[in-house]
Amino acid sequence: MLFLYVIFVIIPFLIFSFFVYRNVSKIIHEKNRRNEFFSCLKYDNKQYDVYDNFSNKYEIEKYIYYLKVERGIEANYDTEILEGLNDETKNEKYKQNLQYIENILDDIYNDTKYIEDSEVDNPQNSWMRKLANEDIVKLKVLLLKKAICFLPICNKIFQDKNKKYRLYNNYYIDDNMSKQLDGQCDEFLEEFNRIIFEANCLTNKWDAYRIYNHNKAKAEEEKKKKEELKNTLKKQKLKEKKLKETTEKANLLANEIIEEENSKKKKKKNK
């Protein structure tokens, strides 16, 4: 009796428990991989927070120089508190500093004249060219630090982008989420191009912008060629399809004529 109980109850239960454990472990593992991937693309990581804080510092410092050179105003914003925002301790002081920075950024982004003056097509027309040499050097150092903070994130993003296809193929993300992630990668690329552009607003001796424009023009030309090739192949396929249909109709008509001629010959022969 005990033997039957072990055979028909204990062993099936252990087998069932093993399969449940294995499947649950697999789901948890895939979920952890997915969360790790999304934490990078959704900016929920410490590395991006450091970059975001330094980027805000750069924007505030740049605005200080703008007020100085364009309006003759000596602004005195405390940007050093941004260093404290990288601390994981979210106490009352942290909240006050965060609110202080957000208020400054709101003032900057609501300054329409500043936004207009910053959005120039040609870097040579930028207001930054009016800065004194020492101020240019300070801004260049800040921009370089911003780039140093940004590049590892950008590099990791485009490395991890390959993981998206595995997630997509395994049905962990749908089409809408896949497009959303592509859009976030494009935002990173746009930010990288913005850093290059601002570098050339500071000085025209940086070759990065010229190389960027060359690569951009080359990429657009290649994209145009691909579109033309795609359209050519599409037209060629349509021609082949029409030719095939015409050939089939011609063959069908020829067969009908041959059958009709054979039928006439048979009738004459029978007579």
DSSP annotation of 42: T
Q: Using CA atoms, how far apart are residues 248 and 49, in angstroms rounded to an integer?
A: 66
Contact 153, 48 (CB under 8 A): yes
Q: Using CA atoms, how far apart are residues 72 and 75, in angstroms rounded to an integer?
A: 9
Tokens of 261: 């001629």
Contact 142, 58 (CB under 8 A): yes
137 half-sphere exposure, CB direction, 13 A CA radius: 3
Q: Mean pLDDT, consecutive 10-residue segments, the chain of 271 residues?
A: 58 62 57 55 62 85 90 82 61 78 88 87 86 87 83 68 58 62 73 82 65 67 80 82 80 77 70 60
Residues 6+ apart with CB under 8 A from 150: 51, 55, 191, 192, 195
Q: Scanning the structure block, which residue is given the tokens 């809408």?
A: 176
Provide the CA 163 distance to its chain's centre, in angstroms. Answer: 13
For residue 43, the model assigns a pLDDT of 47
For residue 129, the model assigns a pLDDT of 87
Tokens of 239: 């021609």
For residue 31, the model assigns a pLDDT of 56
